[in-house]
Amino acid sequence: MENSGHLLRCTGCARVIEQRELKENFRCPECGDLYEVVYPSWSAGMAEIRKPNASAMRWLWKERCCSNTEADQSGVWRFREMLHILDDEANIVSLREGNTPLYELRRVAESTGIEHVFAKHQGMNPTGSFKDAGMTTALSVAHELGFDWVACASTGNTSAAMSAYAARAGMRSLVLIPQGKIAWGKLSQAMDYGALTLQLRTDFDGCVRVLNEVVKRAPVYLLNSVNPYRLEGQKTPALEIAETFDWEVPDHLIVPGGNLANSSALGKAFLEMKHLGLVTKLPKISVIQAEGANPLYRSLLSNSGETLEPVEAHTRASAIRIGNPASWKKAVRVIQQTGGYCEQVSEAEIALAKAEIGAEGIGCEPASAVTLAGLKKLIQQGKVQSNEKVVLLLTGHTLKDSDYTIAYHRGDLLKEGEIKDLRPEIELTRRNAVELEASADEVLRELERVAVR
């Protein structure tokens, strides 16, 4: 494969640079903003023959599904014409990520009155979250650049994904976490995959600060979502969705918002697909935040996304507990360019929505459930019509946070003041374990009791 030929454009000052000019912290030295990957050969003016051909690509991507090679079997790399970031495909590090299921949510459709609601389940990735799609690309770049060490500041799905891919490549991984409020559940994966985990006496922002200095002083490659190559991989669920619908895009795609890299990547994908003639219209992309971690929601409400005021983040949905999102400017553009919305949802709304997704036999992590909670809000506000085709992006697997699920069903997740008028619906979805004497009579009586409910 020839030189990748991609460039990087600053999303703040629009300066375009080459890969070797990238700073270790992936920020623009001029304006401090983040970069995005651009492909000059796709733009007008270049010889038309170099612009990828839409129908040829569609055919090729389908063909690759039956191939035996690692890159073709990956739901990320089979779309590699859209993420031409490596000089040599031999550097691909893959765990056969992507190719995730798209489920129709029939009960949700019935209860919301929307004809077609689907869940694109990114939790069905090798380490259980959508982070794998971006990690395979960014880590492959690190591998190609010859790094032995990769690092991130994360207590959650990013560290799980990073350490798995690093282990596959025979590389070492460093995870920096703040001391104190750690959800050890997810960190267990990083340990399992052999990461070096360091607990620093600071908060999350403090870890990011330290890591930025470490990557400057040692040959360690930064894999937080400021890394633009992660977003290239995270574009691929959008390609899969479009492919599943025969390149007729759904009307609306609803995504949880934390650091806002995922919503940015999906938006980039649809814009690029439209540019290349793969699709003819864009879905509205809406971003949903938890009420206690809603800096983007506030920003759009108070100043149309001109500036963003960081907040101190509180929510049980740990994957979106982010008060100062790195990719907020990119996300604002995606919402504006696609005509989507930003909404916030309460802790009780998230918990109920998670139980409803679980009751469809699918399940997801709490952060993913904001999508359904947000859909209900958008319907109430008249922003989604019954004949629209809606896709919810489920970002993480239900097993990521079983403590949350158990607490919900036992009835000790939410505080009295949080439940408000959702009590009847919450009671109906709760499935706590029932203790009984060891007798068939008792079991049969319980079955009868439940059947009449």
Q: Taking CB under 6 A as the rule, does residue 131 contact ligand PLP?
A: yes
Complex with Zn ion: residue 16 or 31, whichever CB lies closer? 31
| Footprint of Zn ion on 28-87 (CB under 5 A) | 28, 30-31, 33
In whole angstroms, what is the distance from residue 253 CA to residue 282 CA? 10
Q: Taking CB under 6 A as the rule, does residue 319 contact ligand PLP?
A: yes
Cβ at position 375, least distance to Zn ion in Å: 36
Q: Taking CB under 6 A as the rule, does residue 261 contact ligand PLP?
A: yes
Let me know: does 240 contact 100? Beta carbons within 8 Å. yes
Complex with ligand PLP: residue 347 or 365, whichever CB lies closer? 365
The interface region with ligand PLP, picked from 40-48, 104-112, 198-206, 250-258 by CB under 6 A, is 250-258
In whole angstroms, what is the distance from residue 234 CA to residue 138 CA? 10
Q: Taking CB under 6 A as the rule, does residue 398 contact ligand PLP?
A: no
User: Which one among 125, 140, 259, 299 touches ligand PLP, defined by CB under 6 A?
Assistant: 259
Q: Taking CB under 5 A as the rule, does residue 12 contact Zn ion?
A: yes
Q: Taking CB under 5 A as the rule, does residue 10 contact Zn ion?
A: yes
The interface region with ligand PLP, picked from 140-148, 340-348, 361-369, 442-450 by CB under 6 A, is 361-369
Listed in sequence order, the residues at least 6 apart from 105 whose beta carbon sits closer than 8 Å to its beta carbon are 117, 118, 119, 357, 360, 362, 392
DSSP β-bridge partners for residue 197: 175
The interface region with ligand PLP, picked from 33-41, 85-93, 243-251, 362-370 by CB under 6 A, is 362-370
User: Which one among 257, 267, 292, 374 touches ligand PLP, defined by CB under 6 A?
Assistant: 257
Q: Measured in whole angstroms, how far is the alpha carbon of residue 260 from the centre of its chain? A: 8
Binding mask of the shown chain, residues 207 to 226, with x at each position contacting ligand PLP by CB under 6 A? ------------------x-
Q: Taking CB under 6 A as the rule, does residue 258 contact ligand PLP?
A: yes
Say which entry of Zn ion, ligand PLP, none residue 131 contacts (CB below 5 to 8 A, set by partner kind). Answer: ligand PLP
Say which entry of Zn ion, ligand PLP, none residue 13 contacts (CB below 5 to 8 A, set by partner kind). Answer: Zn ion
Closest residue to ligand PLP using C-beta atoms = 396
282: how many CB neighbours lie within 10 A of its CB? Answer: 19
User: Which one among 256, 283, 305, 374 touches ligand PLP, defined by CB under 6 A?
Assistant: 256
Tell me the angle at which helices 366-380 and 347-358 cross, rounded to the nearest 10 degrees: 100
Burial class (CB in 10 A: 0-12, 13-18, 19+), 100: buried
The interface region with Zn ion, picked from 5-13, 65-73, 162-170, 187-195 by CB under 5 A, is 5-13
66: how many CB neighbours lie within 10 A of its CB? Answer: 8
Cβ at position 95, least distance to ligand PLP in Å: 16
Q: Taking CB under 5 A as the rule, does residue 8 contact Zn ion?
A: no
Which string of b and e fits 435-452 if b means at least 16 CB within 10 Å? eeeeeeeeeeeeeeeeee
Specify the amino acid at residue 22: L
Say which entry of Zn ion, ligand PLP, none residue 395 contacts (CB below 5 to 8 A, set by partner kind). Answer: ligand PLP
> What string of H, E and C letters represents the secondary structure of 258-327?
CCCHHHHHHHHHHHHHHHCCCCCCCCEEEEEEEHHHCHHHHHHHHHCCCCCCCCCCCCCCHHHCCCCCCC
> What string of H, E and C letters represents the secondary structure of 389-447?
EEEEEECECHHHHHHHHHHHHHCCCCCHHHHHHHHHHHHHHCCCCCCCCCCHHHHHHHH
Complex with ligand PLP: residue 73 or 294, whichever CB lies closer? 294
The string of DSSP letters for 339-381 reads T--EEEE-HHHHHHHHHHHHTTT----HHHHHHHHHHHHHHHT
Say which entry of Zn ion, ligand PLP, none residue 28 contacts (CB below 5 to 8 A, set by partner kind). Answer: Zn ion
Q: Taking CB under 6 A as the rule, does residue 159 contact ligand PLP?
A: no
Q: Taking CB under 6 A as the rule, does residue 262 contact ligand PLP?
A: yes
Complex with ligand PLP: residue 64 or 400, whichever CB lies closer? 400
Let me know: does 91 contact 108? Beta carbons within 8 Å. no
Binding residues for ligand PLP, rule: CB under 6 A, are 129, 131, 156-157, 225, 256-262, 319-320, 365, 367-368, 395-396
